[in-house]
Copies of this chain bind each other. A is one copy, B any other.
Amino acid sequence: MARAPVRRRVDRAPAPGKQPLDQVADGRRRVVIEAVMPEVDGGRFPAKRTVGETVTVEADIFADGHDALAAILRHRHQSSPTWTETPMTPLVNDRWRAEFPVTELGSYVFTIEGWVDPFETWSRQLAKRVQAGQDIAVELEVGARMLEQAAAKANGAAADAARLTAVAKSLRGTAVPAIDGEVGRLMRRYTDRSLATVYAREVEVLVEAAKARFSTWYELFPRSVGKFPDVERLLPNIARMGFDVLYFPPIHPIGRTHRKGANNRPATSGEPGSPWAIGSEEGGHKAVSSDLGTLEDFRHLVQSAAKQGIDVALDIAFQCSPDHPYTREHPEWFKHRPDGSIQYAENPPKKYEDIYPFDFETEHWRELWQELLSIVLYWAEQGVRIFRVDNPHTKPFTFWEWLIGEVRRIHPDVVMLSEAFTRPKVMYRLAKAGFSQSYTYFAWRNTAYELYQYFTELAQPPIREFFRPNLWPNTPDILTEYLQTGGRPAFQARLILAATLGASYGIYGPAFELMENRAREQGSEEYLDSEKYQARKWNRDSPDSLRELVTIINRIRQENPALQTDRGLRFHPTENDQLLAYSKSTPDNANVILAVVNVDPHHVQRGMVNLPLEELGIERDRPYQAHELISGARYLWNGPRNFVEINPHSMPGQVFRFRRRVRSEHDFEYFL
């Protein structure tokens, strides 16, 4: 497919004040276009959407004086040479808006064109003159001439030209002008746009696969299950729980040198090591560990999962064990110490001698980049479309921007999750560089106020335009104090929060649903007997499992479009610091979900939830039904303030769907 190039450069003439007059392109362009949204860092990075979404574009558009203006939004997919034009509508305070749908993967670009509209100006003023009873003879002649000019431009469209000429004639003949909407539309069609202002940039919108927006992740260590065929037998189980992404830690051969054993002690014979210590004599990043099976087994698993609606996601961890073939074949990709050894990973005084990081400052960075790209492409060729990237914040941003761009050029449906547990600006920059989704600070935001603050930040422009959170209550690295000490209610609350605050969330299982909460030591977030260093046998059928709640919550997500996007989130006051209330709604309010979560895992909490009924599309003066989707209970609510009481020991959260009453001829009460 031939692609028209996406231009991100700012094509802007030098400021007019600083150049000779004969270099001012045309001083008669009077319209200004600024404060365009969505736009990330002045157009340096694309805004993001997924297939099927809408791009709402807004801009400040104005000119000197009081003339009427017109503006259009222009957009095209990068593969199309032709622009689609959409008229923009003025809001208040010189703000204009229009929108366009995105239906294909890849990049769209849009820009804006605005101009002074003399005919519309004339029409508006004429109405005022007529109303004031002024002599309008000369004004009618002014209008007639504009119509005739437009008619002259309409050559080739004889009917249009004839219509315009006829109107011109009528203006000269009668005192009461007959200017209807149809004439206005014709005039806009043949309007002179030679002095129009075109916005300085073509703004890029990157369109990704739907799973970049809405995805439900389950992480497991395959070796704890057995081999790939054993994992394959578990797929129906995972699908039934409602997950659509199954993510594995690295599946490659594991190094032997400085191998880690149980609880991060040096390995003893027979211990399997950490999957992130990638590479041995068996092979490196493009090999499958024989402990898990063959490449063929893996491909079979991927295909079988796809049939059940599950994407298998692989871990991209760009680092090597000391036994990785790269260390022999490409020593130039590593940093060497004065004693000739390769520099291992460290965070002094801590040493990670089982891991060699790549040296991204090597002079051979081009070859290194190409090889790392080839790893992602290799797995994409095996059918993998979702990747979780380990510690991306320890590799250059420029590298990721290039790599993700290259992967996307070949596989525009690839989704990349950034494991950037690092400083806020680094996390955001990785998202700008191209990661589809990112881990967040969610795990450590446990009070209602912290959650309110953090998710309010994420919903602000421009952050919401490039950063898609993926919420994990736990990971193999993170067993929070809240989960360690809060018992069953803590796990339930964090599940409900993750699944309803975020359109994408995930759990590391079966540790999560079996409520594993034993830390290696006090004050640590590491799991005791962590699967990072050893296989674990889990009793998936334990009667204590949260599997049933997970299944219900994921079904609620599946059935309610409001929960499938991070747009439309609003927080609501509860008059109780321990109760967090928030709603998510589709733009048309056809689907409105309210979640109320008691973040105190120990005590019953009561409060009044205050809802902005009008914003949620609920009639103020009639009762409405709040259908609690976890329990199935239905409540009749009335007005904006409603009482809730949540006992964490029965269920720490409630998820309501609002149903409006529909009147029948008998005035029975039905709820949609």
* A interface with B by C-beta (< 8 Å): 6-10, 12, 14-18, 21-22, 24, 27-30, 32, 34, 41-42, 44-45, 60, 62-66, 93-94, 125, 128-129, 131-132, 134, 138, 141-142, 145, 195, 337-339, 347-349, 360-361, 365-366, 369-370, 393-399, 401-406, 408-409, 423-426, 429, 433-434
Contacts and interface: CB of A to CB of B under 8 A. Distances in A.
Nearest to A107: B18
A60 B423 CA distance: 12
B60 A425 contact: yes
A28 B424 contact: no
Nearest to A405: B17
Contacts of A6: 18
A370 B30 contact: no
Given A27-B396, A339-B138, A366 B64 contact: no
Contacts of A338: 138, 141-142, 145
Given A18-B405, A34-B41, A27 B131 contact: no
A197 B349 CA distance: 29
Contacts of A18: 6, 8, 405, 409
24 contacts: A10-B12, A12-B44, A15-B401, A15-B405, A17-B402, A17-B406, A17-B434, A18-B409, A21-B370, A21-B402, A22-B366, A24-B398, A24-B402, A27-B365, A27-B366, A27-B398, A30-B398, A34-B429, A60-B425, A62-B426, A64-B393, A93-B423, A138-B337, A145-B338
Contacts of A21: 366, 369-370, 402
Contact of A66 (B195, B347, B360): B347
A47 B65 CA distance: 26
Contact of A65 (B12, B94, B393): B393
Contacts of A141: 338-339
B8 A10 contact: no
A93 B424 contact: yes
Given A17-B402, A399-B27, A406-B17, A425 B393 contact: no
A87 to B, nearest CB: 21
B16 A425 contact: no
A396 B28 contact: yes
A434 B409 CA distance: 44
Contacts of A45: 15
Nearest to A5: B18
Given A27-B396, A394-B64, A396-B28, A131 B12 contact: no
